[in-house]
Chains A and B, each alone.
Chain A
Amino acid sequence: MKRQITVDRSQLTDAFPTFVKEGFSGTTIFLIVFAFVLLLWSSASADNWAGVDESVVEKFAQEHGREAAEPLINTDQGDLLLFVFLLAGAVGGFAGGYYWRMLTEKGTGTCGSPAIKKE
């Protein structure tokens, strides 16, 4: 006869991340699985994965005599674009997490409270 093992999540120590203690939400699991499947698929495929800007917008524009101009600040040089995208992702992720914490955790200042009205 099989023994059923149950885990009381509230007993988990601080060593466990909050999202492990609270349980992964369906959306989180979906996003992680989705990202990894796409990574594997895109690396195994022979497609060039051009953005629709190239495959649609710039293609049609070229057919009608319009060319994309160089951006004002051209970061599309070597690894520079990779750097700015990484920086943008990190800053965006940090800002998103910071405000999410303000919204959802109690006792993190005035903005965490449900309804703060100015006098």
Chain B
Amino acid sequence: MKIMNYRYLILILSAVCCLLSAASDAHAMHISEGILPLNWAALWFVAALPFLAYGMRSLRETSKTDLSIKPLVGLMAAVVFVISCMPIPVPTAGTCSHPGGTAIPAILLGPSISILVAAVALLIQALFLAHGGLSTWGADIVSMGIVGSFTAYAVFRLLRMFNISLTISAFFAGLLSDWAIYLTTSVELAAGIRGDSPFLPLFSKIVIAFIPTQLPIGILEGVMTAGMVSLLVRRRADLLVKLGVIKPGHAGGAA
């Protein structure tokens, strides 16, 4: 009899996620189609393009010299896709939201490849899951891909510089990355819809409205990031040493 392994566990968890999404109204938590005026949508597209090109170049160059990164990129793409379309009920707020998921690839693969992974996930969600929009794809790449990835990477590297443990560094990278994503979404939304109204009061109102939902979701994202990073360090420390996430001689634990 063929043994079950983690694939089946992930499948079961995915089914639970689908049930959760069915229990709630399975709408998008990214900026939906048509919300942003065309000029603002185009601006965010232009802002995202150089980062996408940089991500593609990084992936191509890394793949040229080292094939062992490919399954990790595949795993990260699946993780970001599932996490970022998973509506999680937040009982304290009575609403649903989702983590960004980009902190994990940003820490493991670097922000450039993480942006690319996020962009692909966002495109599939916008096309087939009524989750986000094609016109708002650029804005969603900027918030979830660019800001989420760079925040996670910077926080993780900074904390590691001060010899903070791997798990705690990954936790704060995930937490702050999630909050940074929604701060950026607030900027994009306030700037796009304000018309003649002043920017700051509207921005503050949107941020305050996000807080009851995103505060706990950010903590959850921190836990997920810390769990995933420590799990990979335990199972493939050699790969993470090669990618520069940990130093050679790391015990392989999550210390």
Nearest opposing residue in chain A for B241, CB measure = A114
- Report B194 CB to chain A, min CB distance, Å: 7
Interface residues of A in 76-98 (CB under 8 A from B): 76, 81-82, 84-86, 88-90, 92-98
Interface hub of B25, B194, B228 (most chain A Cβ within 10 A)? B25
A11 within 8 A of B: no
B222 within 8 A of A: no
CB pair A72–B134 under 8 Å, yes or no, is yes
Q: How far is the CA of A41 from the CA of B8 in the complex (A)?
A: 26
CB pair A57–B195 under 8 Å, yes or no, is no
CB pair B193–A66 under 8 Å, yes or no, is yes
Interface residues of B in 193-223 (CB under 8 A from A): 193-195, 197, 202, 205-206, 209-210, 213-214, 220, 223
Which listed residue, B35, B66, B227, B239, touches A117 by the CB 8 Å rule? Answer: B66
Interface residues of B in 224-247 (CB under 8 A from A): 224, 227-228, 231-232, 235-236, 238-239, 242
Interface residues of A in 60-74 (CB under 8 A from B): 60-61, 64-74
Nearest opposing residue in chain B for A96, CB measure = B78
B22 within 8 A of A: yes
Interface residues of B in 63-84 (CB under 8 A from A): 64-68, 70-72, 74-75, 77-79, 81-82
Nearest opposing residue in chain A for B121, CB measure = A92
Given contacts A19-B6, A81-B130, contact A53 B30 (CB under 8 A): yes
CB pair A72–B189 under 8 Å, yes or no, is no
CB pair A35–B16 under 8 Å, yes or no, is yes
CB pair A55–B19 under 8 Å, yes or no, is no
Tell me if A's interface is mostly helix, strand, loop or mixed: helix
B249 within 8 A of A: no
Residues from chain A with Cβ under 8 Å of B6 in the complex:
18-19, 97, 100-101, 104
Tell me if B's interface is mostly helix, strand, loop or mixed: helix
CB pair A42–B91 under 8 Å, yes or no, is yes
Which listed residue, B32, B74, B220, touches A53 by the CB 8 Å rule? Answer: B32
Residues from chain A with Cβ under 8 Å of B23 in the complex:
39, 42-43, 49
CB pair B66–A99 under 8 Å, yes or no, is no
CB pair B25–A51 under 8 Å, yes or no, is yes
CB pair B34–A19 under 8 Å, yes or no, is no
- Report A75 CB to chain B, min CB distance, Å: 5
Interface residues of B in 1-40 (CB under 8 A from A): 1-11, 13-37
CB pair A57–B32 under 8 Å, yes or no, is yes
- Report B193 CB to chain A, min CB distance, Å: 4
Instruction: Please give me the 6 A-B residue pairs with the lowest Cβ-Cβ distance, nearest first.
Output: A97-B7, A69-B34, A47-B94, A27-B227, A93-B14, A17-B4
| 8 residue pairs bridging A and B, Cβ less than 8 Å apart | A27-B223, A27-B228, A52-B214, A64-B194, A72-B33, A88-B124, A93-B82, A97-B10
